[in-house]
Amino acid sequence: MRMLKDKNFRVLYKLFFALLGLNAIITEIVTIRARGVFIPANFFSFFTIQTNLIVLIVFLLSAVMVARGESRRWVDILRAMATVYILVVGVGFAVLLSGLEGVALTAVPWDNIVLHYLIPVAVIVDFMVDRPLQKIGFKTGLLWIIYPIAYVGYSLIRGARIGWYPYPFLNPDTGLDNVTVTVLGLVVLGLLLIMLITWLTGRTR
């Protein structure tokens, strides 16, 4: 644990997982392009890809702050927000998509492990070891739910127009009741994670 709190190690840790996530995304793009089925708008419509890109940016920003010995509240808020989002990816995949590794998103099995398992674990470990010292209120955290809700709306509207949905559980053809229950469950999960992550901020490590 002492090593995890070392400044240089924390910087390297953040940079390593930022680059690991980036490598997984690039590998997916290259592989899918080679198969002749790469559609950029579809690929970047996956919540997993969007969230891992957010994590990538946040890891890089956080690494710069740690290297400089600085702290910025807005960076801490971004870190907490990204932690909530990537945990939704990790938990959501384990519950809803664990049997669907063959979809285009997981063209390379290793990338599946990185994006859905390793990065979520790396982010929560980073957050627990390097928690924001300033308290982030639950009311602030509630704003983070806007993006996932907007994402669902975007996916449903775009899916109805082009006949393609990023995830089976968002496809109304499986039953509107199923879609509604699943989305509500994910919203509840997000709210619970927001409560947990904001509660952890401002507490001594």
Whether pLDDT at 105 is above 70: no
pTM of the shown model: 0.91
Q: What is the rounded average pLDDT for all residues in the chain?
A: 89
Q: How confident is the model at residue 28 (pLDDT cuts 50, 70, 90)?
A: very high
**Residue 150: what pLDDT?**
96
User: Please, is 157 exposed, middle or buried when counting C-beta atoms within 10 Å of its C-beta (0-12, 13-18, 19+)?
Assistant: exposed
Strands (E), 37-151: none
Q: Which of 13, 106, 109 is nearest to 59 (CA)?
A: 13
Identify the band that residue 121 occupies on the pLDDT scale cut at 50, 70 and 90: very high
> Which tens digit of pLDDT belongs to each residue from 35-93?
998 999 999 999 999 999 999 999 999 999 999 988 889 999 999 999 999 999 998 87
Residue-range domain boundaries for the chain: 3-200
Q: Which of 192, 132, 199, 152 is nearest to 45 (CA)?
A: 152
Q: Mapping DSSP to helix (H, G, I), strand (E, B) and coil, where does residue 21 land? A: helix
Q: What angle do CA 201, 24, 143 make, to 5 degrees?
A: 30
DSSP 112-146: HHIIIIIHHHHHHHHHHHT--SS---HHHHHGGGH
Res. 102: pLDDT tops 50: no
d(CA 51, CA 24): 13
